[in-house]
A and B are shown apart, each in its own frame.
Chain A
Amino acid sequence: MATEVLMPALSPTMEEGTLAKWLVKVGDVVKSGQILAEIETDKATMEFEATDEGRVGALLVAEGTAGVKVNTPILLMSEEGEAVVAKAAPVAAAPAVVVAAAPVAAPVAVVSKASADWPEGTPMKTMTVREALREAMAEEMRANPTVMLMGEEVGEYQGAYKISQGLLDEFGPKRVVDTPITEMGFTGIAVGASWGGLNPIVEFMTWNFAMQAIDHILNSAAKTNYMSGGQMGAPIVFRGTNGAAARVGAQHSQDYAAWYAAIPGLKVVMPYSAADAKGLLKSAIRDRNPVVFLENEILYGQSFEVPDLPDFTIPFGKARIWRQGSDVTIVSFGIGMKYALEAADILAKDGISAEVVDLRTLRPIDYDTVLASVMKTNRCVTVEEGFPVGSIGDHLASTIMQRAFDHLDAPVVTCTGKDVPMPYAANLEKLALVTTAEVVAAVKSVCYR
């Protein structure tokens, strides 16, 4: 009896992939463990193995097909000796499972025409956050020979999340340095190197692992310029994926935004869009201070419009107003913007006009933009993925209370992740994270609707 072989999920966040190459053909007898195909995810090219013995009855997806959804049947396997299933669709005639090759554009990427970040009429190109980060690093490395990248798997592996793909080939092993798994050690080395005249970019495979190195980020990098009376700034960027990904449990799912934003001497960046990721990372690499750059795995694969300029940067401390509104201000940053923008769309249908502010940098924070917006709308909801206690939202709520109390028509409501370690179970994880529905409900509560 023929069995279907399905498109596998090869990473926690993979939803679709490209069937790069078939390594078997119809009629081949395959053994368990034999490689059937090469499958390209947005992070890597993986070999896909047969789990059972059998004979290849039919290939259901043509080689080179992109956007094949996880769990789509890609191959029919008949048992040894069984005739090739005649009715199996021939390779070329499998349109039903050939998903459009163009990546699905993120629905939230509605960029307003007018932007404070680039001139009117600037040519735009579509790129993912991942590509934007890579381009930022490559451009800065081309421009400045003292910029170098170090971290786990940044070189020969091409990056655990493919952010550094191709950089080793272009810049060589002196400037793209694979480290042993030793966060505290290599972070200290990178900080020392920044004092010695280099501009290191340290990639943490995830910010969770940077907990092993947090002493060097705070005590060595952030405080030394002050402690030296201004003699020794550390021009260094610490970057990597932050916050929850998908089903990776408590130790790999934590948003550190509020932690690092608490530390004087650091600058803290948490971009949402690809344009911000690129422009802010370039600014971070040029900054003479230590910059904590918090990325998000789920956003890596999302596409946005990015200005096609030879040297595009975004300054720190300037929030971006994604959407003008008059009834309520929703302030967010990073992946929280996804919920904020989705909520604004839903609220618009209910006749509530939400202004959506993306902080983009958390140190410095653009208080002026937030306060001006709140003074206009008289209501504020904050959205972030981190824990509720001591959150960025708490800090904003207190700032707004102190500086715009008379303008408030309702208390500021903070939407955050729940006050629990991240659970693994799919339903519980969903419950632990902030949701669009919660943002909608919060806005309705401050609008007394």
Chain B
Amino acid sequence: MAVKKEPTKSNVSKEELLGFYREMLLIRRFEEKAGQLYGMGLIGGFCHLYIGQEAVVVGLEACTKEGDKRITSYRDHGHMLACGMDPKGVMAELTGREGGYSKGKGGSMHMFSKEKHFYGGHGIVGAQVPLGAGLALADKYLGNDNVTFTYFGDGAANQGQVYETYNMAELWMLPVIFVIENNQYAMGTSVKRSTKSGTFFGRGAAYGIPGEQVDGMDVLAVKAAGEKAVAHCRAGQGPYILEMMTYRYRGHSMSDPAKYRTREEVEKIRSEKDAIEHVRDLLLNAGLASDEDLKAIDREIKEQVNASAEFAKDSPEPALAELWTDIYA
């Protein structure tokens, strides 16, 4: 089904568009595979899939430079893949194996890569918001020209510490971009059942923080807004809020039957707003890629994801001695 909206006017190149397609597809296929492995009992505990929201992280990662930081909640697989972390290490962490990013000791919600400047992976809703502002404080203190992307959901957006952080981030002009991934549901509670505010980004006005609402299903719109926010931060003008209007296709976690919304609602968004289909149509309609080209990418991604799953199954469980390591640095 064709995209229902005009493509965002952008001087996006063929390579960049293909890159977006590839990265978003990697996240989707990875998450689908994670869902399968969960069903097979290879992944335990909580597992929150990012399917549907891929354009948000892929569009924003396109605005980053080396040294920029990112931090998010427990729905973190997409963020890790988008910032260049190895799918094998992420999947092996999901299966709780030695080859995982945290040697199997963190799990789905607690993964980190200092090398890729990915600071988690946080299981306490909203906690990542001041932590992200703190990363930005360090950059400002050290004179680094970097920004921190601090992601949180519409649910976390009602936490008090978010507003404590807004106040200090603007007071101290910290180079932090608050990215609210508004996927409409905080677990089973829809936004309209949890808040009377018209928008979440608008709450920043109380603290003097500018922001905007963005079509989070359109990777080009995300990138354009991200560039604006990054420019604002790098110019030393303090924080910026991006409210990404997005949607998760799956339940809150693997154990969520999602009875709080209709199948039709999900299907409507999937068919009319899907971020990957959008880019696929852009590529095909503009003659930038053929169906065959895209199928080749699909196959490549599928192989990459399968390889990560094989790695995650084959990697051994952590040695028992690992119980007692890494408690202290």
Given A184-B164, A185-B165, A224–B112 Cβ distance below 8 Å?
yes
Count residues of A near B (Cβ-Cβ below 8 Å). Answer: 43
Tell whether, in the assembled complex, residue A184 and residue B161 are in contact, meaning their CB atoms are under 8 Å apart: yes
Given A229-B101, A229-B103, A264-B327, A148–B141 Cβ distance below 8 Å?
A: yes
> Contacts A182-B168, A193-B137, A193-B141 given: A230-B326 contact, CB under 8 Å?
yes
Is B138 a contact of A196 with CB atoms below 8 Å?
Answer: yes
B9 within 8 A of A: no
B325 interface hit (Cβ, 8 Å): yes
Complex: how many Å from CA A98 to CA B207? 53
B120 is contacted by which of A224, A230, A264 (Cβ under 8 Å)?
A224
A265 in contact with B327 given A196-B69, A215-B124 (CB within 8 Å): yes
- In the complex, are the beta carbons of A195 and B131 less than 8 A apart? yes
Are B105 and A198 closer than 8 Å at their CB atoms? no
Q: How far is the CB of A362 from chain B (nearest CB, A)?
A: 15
| Interface presence of B44 (CB below 8 A) | no
B36 to chain A, nearest CB (A): 25
A225 to B103, CA, bound (A): 12
With known contacts A180-B171, A185-B161, A227-B102, A265–B328 Cβ distance under 8 A: yes
Q: Is the CB of A188 within 8 A of B127?
A: yes
Chain B nearest Cβ from A262, distance in angstroms: 14
The answer to whether A235 and B131 have CB atoms under 8 Å apart is no
Smallest CB–CB gap between A190 and chain B, Å? 6
Convert B129-169 into 0s and 1s, putting 1 for each residue whose CB lies closer than 8 angstroms to a CB of A: 11111111111011000000000000000001100110110
Map CB proximity to A onto B67-106 as digits: 1 under 8 Å, 0 otherwise: 0010100000000000000000000000000001111111
Query: Contacts of B64 on A, CB cut-off 8 Å?
Result: none
Closest to A234 in B: B329
> A69 on the interface (CB 8 Å rule)?
no
**Residues 9-41 of B at the A interface (beta carbon under 8 Å):** none
Check if A72 is an interface residue, CB within 8 A of chain B. no
User: Which residue of chain A is the closest to B107 with respect to CB atoms?
Assistant: A227
Closest to A364 in B: B328
- For B132, what are the chain A residues with a Cβ–Cβ distance below 8 Å? 192
Residue B119 at the chain A interface, CB threshold 8 Å: yes
B114 CB-CB contact with A under 8 Å: yes
Identify 15 new A-B residue pairs, CB closer than 8 A, beyond the known A180-B164, A191-B130: A186-B164, A189-B130, A192-B133, A192-B134, A192-B136, A193-B134, A194-B138, A195-B135, A196-B134, A220-B124, A227-B102, A227-B105, A231-B102, A232-B114, A265-B328
Could you write out 5 A-B pairs with CB less than 8 Å apart?
A182-B168, A192-B135, A224-B120, A226-B327, A229-B102
